[in-house]
Structure 1
Amino acid sequence: MSDILLELLRVSEKAANIARACRQQEALFQLLIEEKKGAEKNKKFAADFKTLADVLVQEVIKQNMENKFPGLGKKVFGEESNEFTNDLDSTYQYIKGSANVKSNQGVFPSGLQCVTILIGVYDLQTGLPLMGVINQPFASQNLTTLRWTGQCYWGLSYMGNNIHSLQLAISKSNSETQTENSDRESSNPFSAVISTSEKDTIKTALSDVCGGSVFPAAGAGYKSLCVVQGLADIYIFSEDTTYKWDSCAAHAILRAMGGGIVDMKECLERSPDTGLDLPQLLYHVENKGASGVDLWANKGGLIAYRSRNRLDTFLSRLIQSLGPLKTQT
């Protein structure tokens, strides 16, 4: 497993270099954009795009894994087809290419910082995520040279072994931030990152639970990364327009950290007093009756979290807040 993880880290950086290179020349970049059609299209967007960078990234990952581990390339699945005509998805943020967006307490609402390369590995039998890599190609920019540098995060949860790239930083900072965290939890117990298109009922309930610590941000991978980084306690999304390739990498990292990603709809419908295992997202079964990309949609929405205890408290308060809102609507 360590050999596979090392190769995933290596190929994610190769993919990040492609993403950065494709953004270097704006005139050229605009020629490399194609609108998605038919089954490829995400119904969330009126216009959904892919770029040559997306296709190259996905094909490079497939080919590199096949070369290193023969047969594994056929098990690589992703969002983009390898057909590209010039009638150009990482995300809209990648196409727009905004570099001067300011963060809100470390969370970027939009811009190139929200672009992520996501590689997740799951168990074919159980569907549980085993390892994940999130590469953020545009983590920081040198204001003199205008060159971007990236940051990479990884995690492995396999046969009782849980390791991740943030362990050293977390262990060093735990003693320093214990008092600070206690103060934060007593005054404003939760923070959440959400989609800009989240339902108003969810936004209202989150304002009740989290106060002013609700941060809109672009990109499902980036919002999950915010939870991995500890910038938010929760990433919550009620719609069915994220997919298995959006969540698997972060899910594996969060599992290694003691967290996970669960089905939101199932969580809200279960009794908080049952003590049953939470409905973790699984990755090996297609959605019945669906077609195209919807075969792999996270149909019940999702909630990403770092701490099970914190999630239980969050869910309890969210359900309480949603109750009156459902009655009113």
Structure 2
Amino acid sequence: MSSRIGSCGGPPGGQGAIKCRCRAAKCKDIWFTFAGRAEDIDTILNELREAGGDTASIEVKAGAGGLPDSLTSTLSALANLPGGGLIIRGLDERAGFRPIALSEAQELKQALASKARSYEPPVQLTFEDAVVEGSLVVLARVHECDPSAKPCRASNSGAAYLRGWDGDYRMSTLEEQAFLAQRTAPVADRQSCTGASSQDLTASYVRIVRERDPQGPGRFTDRDELLQRSGVIDPDGIPTVAGILALGAYPQQWFPRFAIQAAVDSGRAGARGVRAQPTDLIRTSGPPSGPDRRSPPARVVRSRVGRGDRK
């Protein structure tokens, strides 16, 4: 059983499933990088045969008859597994992992990708094809969920799962608490905003902080120290993404698609299907300087299906 044609000196670097980039004209080797190691499809199949079934990071499904219900727990469990895992469709485990025909491989991928969206947070997948004994095999790499969002749960039931060798097990309350305790706050907004300078920040921020919170960050007499400890600038004095978004004179200079849309709820009981849509976008930033900065736009459009009226 082989998916390899020609010879190759080894797998290239990278993540997920990738084709070899060697110069051999007939080389069609396919290598997969997961769980911190690079392997080709033959090595994966040998590992499955030696184990006599699925492993902690690899789940094999025949692929006939659509998506099995067991995939609900498998996607959650592999997303919660350090390093993620691999789902292989098109092999028959009971027949020694022999390939079986996949009649609609594209529809299979679409269905699996759609199912992956029904999780909180959505499961991230990468698809690749391999050929085993002349038959197509679909490989879906399940990427590990970001630790700040674990555990990954099925949206319809709220259940989260763990991988236990070749099985999926619903997390206990204690196990869920362990994941929640390990969560960390996202830090992407601490990155420096390339091209920005302190001149692009709202000048009144330091004054307002010192007036309103003299015992907090306002106690720092040095302006740069106050801004750095507040996360507004980095150690080199460059504004952070958070600093520009919250206090930038015009954040859209760097993030042109960022804006705030405000809507007003009608407050009327039983007003089902009513939507509120602003006629204006809020594109300014900085600390509030008066009532006008805290008030939502006065002009909004409320509409019902088949009927619209301006209020």
TM-score bracket for the superposition, by shorter chain length: under 0.3
Q: Which structure's residues are more often strand, by fraction?
A: 2
Q: Give the TM-score normalised by structure 1.
A: 0.22
